[in-house]
Amino acid sequence: MSEHVLTQVSNGTGFITLDRPKALNSLSLDMVRAMTETLLAWRDDAQVAAVVLRSSSEKALCAGGDIRFFHDVGKATPQGGSALLEDFFTEEYALNHLIHFYPKPYIALMDGVVMGGGMGVAQGGPGCGVRIVTERTKMAMPEVNIGLFPDVGGSHFLSHAPGRLGRYLGVTGVTVGAADALYVGLADHFVPVAQLPALSALMETTPGARLAQAIADFAAPFRAQAGVAVMETQRDAIERHFAADTVAGMMASLAGDSGEFAQKTLHIMQGRSPLMMCVTLSLLDRGAAMDVADCLRMERNVVRRNFEHGEVLEGVRALVIDKDNAPKWSPATLDEVTAQMVERFFEPAWPAWAHPLRHLA
């Protein structure tokens, strides 16, 4: 078990506490394995009726995968590939699948930063997921900012968001708060930070079999306190601009809108990886017609191609390693991105019978 994943069972509820505060609970391979081992054991344990995922820190539930690890291992091996890197993504995506189809209530306290891989371990499926946000919640699928793409099931949960909201979140990588998370369907309940001690007491004392309903009842009076979602006030603009078939079309539409929201969004997109914004758009369009398992298999293929290309290694270098915030994207401009470049990311890296996630149902 990982030293950064603490587990306990109390009153019929299994608690998983992520405890890597200095790294904002960024997921390492041993953390992924510890969570998987625990969830598999509890899945068949009649003494565990519900699971709660939480953090030991108020700053973050989970900021994503350990991108320093991605960079160091990717740079040290030809074409960004290594056994450890392969294991990480295969096992992380398998964990995401396990969580999505968990047969018991899976409750995620999404307090603080919840981004990338953090979303993957918090987004339980419609049959099990109970997702709680607070006024400290900072949620995003920000991968295009580091030359990656919204993975960990993002091609499914973003592509199934209402209207063009998933396109907006995935292609821009913007960070949103509690109200937006609720509005887009990526959270279920709002609980103010001041009420978290009472919520914790509730989770510790309520029998696991009744916990999901008890949380819903507890949170119901606070819903209005989440505020108004930016995506709700800007819904018409998002639907209009992100209806374009291409990223270039989206940016041209935004450029023709002098409004503050459109110009801010355009500025954000101008700093993202041109190639990975295009790959993300294609990923989401494809994911809309796929089930969860096929989405994860597609993402596993795309992440393999991404490290072969090296865009993520440059993005992490610029934003995390050297911190010069000046990534040298390849290609450097949107005009240079071709359909063939995008399609390359979706070319099978393995025969179907050899795909590392071929067994996902």
Catalytic residues, which ones?
Answer: 65, 117, 143, 151
Number of helical (H) and strand (E) elements in the chain, helices listed first: 17, 9
CA-CA distance, 217 to 211, in Å (whole number)? 10
CA-CA distance, 289 to 208, in Å (whole number)? 35
CA-CA distance, 76 to 73, in Å (whole number)? 5
| Residue 105 and residue 50 in contact, taking contact as beta carbons nearer than 8 Å | yes
Q: Residue 255 carries which DSSP code? A: H
Cα 176 versus chain centre, distance: 13
| Residue 12 and residue 207 in contact, taking contact as beta carbons nearer than 8 Å | yes
Give the count of alpha carbons within 13 A of 289, CB side only.
4
CA-CA distance, 242 to 224, in Å (whole number)? 28
* Strands 60-62 and 106-110, sheet pairing: unpaired
| Residue 284 and residue 155 in contact, taking contact as beta carbons nearer than 8 Å | yes
Q: Which amino acid is present at 290?
A: M
Collapsed DSSP state (helix, strand, coil) of residue 181 = helix
DSSP string, 230-250: HHHHTHHHHHHHTTSSSHHHH
109 to 5, 88, 162, 261, 271: CA distances (angstroms) = 15, 24, 23, 30, 31
DSSP string, 120-152: HHH---TTTEEEEE-TT-EEE--GGGGT----T
